[in-house]
C-alpha cells in the first residue's frame, strides 16, 4: 500500500488539476472548434457519420474522468504513483481532444479512423479476423460502440489510456533497472511526453493496440533473458497471438528476437535443439507466406517487396527510390534500414511535424554516437537491456526497411510499437555507473 498517498496534499492537488483540466477542455471545445471551423462543426460530417455533439463532447470527457480516477486508484494500490504519470495522462487528453480534431479535419475522409468509425458503428463484428488488421480493429471498435455507445472520441480515449498504462508498466518494470537518475528521467520524459509518440500512441488505429501488445511481449522477453526456460519461452510465444490479428509480421519479428535470445542465453542440449527447431519453424513459416501471397520464385519475391514498398510512397513525406533488381535492393538496403530507425533527420524536415520529429531523432542519434565509448561502464542489467534493445531494433529495422523508407511520416508512426526499445537503444549507454558500483557488479553472461 502507498502509505504516503493520503498524507500528501500535493497528490490530491495533482489529481484535481487533471480533472479541472478535463472540465476546462469541455468548456473550451465548442469555442475553439466553432471559431476554427474544423471537424466537429462541419455538420455535414456529423450527418454523414451519424455523430452527435453529446457523444463527441460530453460523453468521452466524462469517461476520461472516470478512467483517470480508476487509474489513480490502481496506481495507489500498486504503489506506482508518480506525478509524471498524472500529467502524462492530462497531456494525452489534451492531444486527443484539442489537437486530433485539427489534424483530422484536413483529410478525415481518407483517414483510417473514418473507415474504423463508420464500419464499427454501422456493423457489429463479433470476432477478430486472422491476418486482417483492418477488419480486426473494426471489430474492436464495434465492441466498444456496442457496449459503451457510438462515440468516436471515446474509442481514442480508451486506446490512449491503455497505451498510457503500457508505458507505466514498462517504466516500473524495466526502466527501474537503470541506475543513473539523469538518464532514467530522460527516458521517462521521452516515454510519456514526446509529442510524436504521444500522437501515434493515442491514435485511433492499430498503433496504440500494437504498442500495448509490444510492451507485454517485451516484459516477457526480458524475463526470459534473465532466466531462460521452456516455460518462459512458451509465455513469449503466447503473447504473440494478438499480433496475428493486427500486424502478423510482428510474430516473425519477436519470434526472431526470442530465437536469438535462446541461442545466446541457453546452454547445452537445449541450445542445439532450440536452434534447430527454430530454423525449421522459420523455413516452414516462410513457405506458408510464399504460398499465401503466391510467390513462386525469387523474382516474384522481389516484386512483392517492391509492391509493398511503393504502397506507402505518397504524400508530402514520400521518398523516391527505384528498385528493379536484387542488386539495387542490396545497394540501397543499408540506407533503407537506417531510415526505418533514425529518420527523419534535420535535412528531412519539410513541415512542423517533420521538423519536431527530426529534432528529436537527430538529438538522440548524436547522444548515442557520442556515448558509445561508455559501453563498458554499464551495469549487468543495463547490458542485458541494451543487448535486448539492440536485437529488437536490428531485427525490426531489417523488416521495416522496405516500408518505412518510402514515407518518413510512416517511418515515425511505425516506430511507435517499439519506441520503448528505441529509447533504451539510444540512451542506455549515455552515462555509466561509478567505479565502486561497477566493481560490485558481476560480468554479464
Q: Would you call the peptide bond into 322 cis, given omega within 30 degrees of 0 as the criterion?
A: no
- Contact call for residues 167 and 88 (beta carbons, < 8 A): yes
The C-alpha cell that represents 218 in the structure block: 517485451
Query: Helices 380-404 & 249-265, crossing angle to 10 degrees?
Result: 150
pTM for the model stands at 0.83
Task: HSE, CB side, 13 Å, CA atoms: give it for residue 408.
Answer: 25
Q: Which of 17-21, 26-30, 262-266 has the lowest mean pLDDT?
A: 26-30
**Cβ count within 10 A of residue 125:** 18
Q: Is 206 exposed, middle or buried (0-12, 13-18, 19+ CB in 10 A)?
A: buried
Our CA angle for 439, 441, 445, nearest 5°, is 125
> Comparing 91-95, 112-116, 182-186, 326-330, which segment has the lowest mean pLDDT?
112-116
More confident residue, 26 or 109: 26
Q: Is the pLDDT of residue 209 over 50?
A: yes
* Percent of the chain whose pLDDT exceeds 70: 72
Confidence (pLDDT) at 435: 45
- Count of alpha carbons within 13 angstroms of residue 383, beta-carbon side: 14
Whether 76 shows a pLDDT value over 70: the answer reads yes
Q: What is the CA radius of gyration of the chain?
A: 23
C-alpha cell at 314: 505518397
Question: What are the φ/ψ torsions at residue 318 (nearest 5 degrees)?
Answer: -70, 145
169: phi then psi, degrees, rounded to nearest 5: -60, -45
Residue 407, strand partner residues:
318
The better pLDDT of the pair 396, 182 is held by 396
Non-local (6+) Cβ contacts of 229 within 8 A are none
Tell me: pLDDT of 271 over 90.
no
Instruction: For residue 281, give the C-alpha cell.
Output: 519453424
Residue located via cell numbers 533497472 = 177
Q: Give the pLDDT of residue 315.
A: 54
Q: Under a CB-based contact definition with an 8 Å cutoff, are residues 172 and 75 in contact?
A: no
Distance CA 373, CA 263 (A): 27
Please state at what angle helix 133-148 crosses helix 152-173, rounded to 10 degrees. 110
Q: Which three cell numbers stand for residue 12?
A: 490530491
For residues 57 and 38, give the distance between their C-alpha atoms in angstroms, rounded to a whole number. 14
> Of 207, 212, 205, whose CA–CA distance to 116 is shortest?
205
Task: Return left, alpha or beta for 443; rule: phi > 0 is left, psi -120 to 50 is alpha, else beta.
Answer: beta
| Mean per-residue pLDDT, 105-116 | 57
**Which residues lie across from 318 on neighbouring strands?**
407
What does the alpha-carbon distance between residue 359 and residue 351 come to, in Å, rounded to a whole number? 12
Is 241's pLDDT higher than 60?
yes
Quick one: pLDDT at residue 325? 72
Report H helices in 405-431.
408-414, 419-427
Neighbours of 103 (CB within 10 A): 16
* Cβ partners under 8 Å of residue 198, min gap 6: 91, 92, 95
Is the pLDDT higher at 167 or at 371?
A: 167
- Res 440 pLDDT > 90: no
> pLDDT higher for 129 or 432?
129
Grid cell of 11 as nine digits? 497528490
- List CB contacts of 112: < 8 A, sequence separation 6 or more: 134, 204, 205
For residue 91, which of 39, 146, 152, 18 has the smallest C-alpha distance? Answer: 18
Amino acid at each position: 500500500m502507498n502509505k504516503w498517498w493520503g498524507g500528501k496534499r500535493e497528490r490530491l492537488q495533482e489529481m484535481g488539476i487533471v480533472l479541472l483540466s478535463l472540465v476546462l477542455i469541455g468548456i473550451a471545445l465548442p469555442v475553439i472548434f466553432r471559431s476554427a471551423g474544423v471537424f466537429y462543426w462541419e455538420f455535414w460530417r456529423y450527418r454523414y457519420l451519424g455523430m452527435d455533439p453529446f457523444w463527441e463532447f460530453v460523453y468521452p470527457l466524462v469517461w476520461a474522468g472516470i478512467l483517470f480516477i480508476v487509474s489513480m486508484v490502481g496506481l495507489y494500490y500498486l504503489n506506482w504513483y508518480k506525478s509524471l504519470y498524472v500529467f502524462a495522462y492530462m497531456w494525452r487528453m489534451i492531444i486527443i481532444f484539442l489537437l486530433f480534431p485539427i489534424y483530422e479535419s484536413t483529410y478525415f475522409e481518407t483517414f483510417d479512423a473514418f473507415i474504423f468509425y463508420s464500419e464499427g458503428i454501422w456493423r457489429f463484428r463479433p470476432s477478430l479476423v486472422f491476418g486482417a488488421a483492418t477488419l480486426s480493429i473494426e471489430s474492436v471498435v464495434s465492441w466498444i460502440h456496442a457496449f459503451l455507445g457510438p462515440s468516436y472520441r471515446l474509442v481514442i480515449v480508451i486506446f490512449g489510456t491503455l497505451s498510457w498504462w503500457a508505458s507505466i508498466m514498462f517504466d516500473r518494470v524495466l526502466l527501474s533497472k537503470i541506475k543513473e537518475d539523469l538518464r532514467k528521467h530522460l527516458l521517462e520524459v521521452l516515454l510519456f511526453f514526446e509529442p510524436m509518440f504521444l500522437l501515434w500512441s493515442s491514435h485511433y488505429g492499430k498503433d496504440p493496440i500494437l504498442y500495448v501488445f509490444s510492451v507485454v511481449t517485451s516484459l516477457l522477453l526480458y524475463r526470459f533473458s534473465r532466466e531462460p526456460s521452456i516455460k518462459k519461452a512458451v509465455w513469449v510465444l503466447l503473447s504473440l497471438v494478438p499480433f496475428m490479428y493486427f500486424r502478423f509480421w510482428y510474430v516473425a519479428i519477436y519470434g526472431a528476437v526470442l530465437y536469438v535470445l535462446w541461442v545466446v542465453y541457453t546452454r547445452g542440449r537445449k541450445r542445439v535443439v532450440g536452434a534447430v527447431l527454430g530454423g525449421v519453424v522459420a523455413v516452414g513459416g516462410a513457405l506458408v507466406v510464399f504460398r499465401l501471397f503466391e510467390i513462386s520464385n525469387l523474382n516474384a519475391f522481389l516484386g512483392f517487396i517492391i509492391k509493398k514498398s511503393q504502397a506507402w510512397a505518397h504524400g508530402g513525406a514520400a521518398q523516391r527510390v527505384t528498385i528493379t533488381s536484387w542488386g539495387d535492393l542490396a545497394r540501397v538496403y543499408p540506407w533503407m534500414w537506417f531510415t526505418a530507425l533514425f529518420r527523419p533527420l534535420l535535412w528531412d524536415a519539410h513541415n512542423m511535424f517533420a521538423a519536431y520529429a527530426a529534432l528529436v531523432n537527430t538529438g538522440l542519434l548524436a547522444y548515442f554516437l557520442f556515448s558509445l565509448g561508455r559501453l563498458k561502464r554499464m551495469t549487468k542489467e543495463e547490458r542485458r537491456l541494451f543487448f535486448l534493445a539492440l536485437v529488437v531494433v536490428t531485427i525490426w529495422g531489417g523488416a521495416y526497411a522496405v516500408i518505412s523508407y518510402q514515407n518518413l511520416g510512416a517511418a515515425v508512426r511505425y516506430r511507435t510499437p517499439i519506441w520503448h526499445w528505441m529509447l533504451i537503444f539510444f540512451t542506455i549507454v549515455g552515462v555509466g555507473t561509478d567505479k565502486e558500483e561497477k566493481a560490485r557488479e558481476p560480468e554479464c553472461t
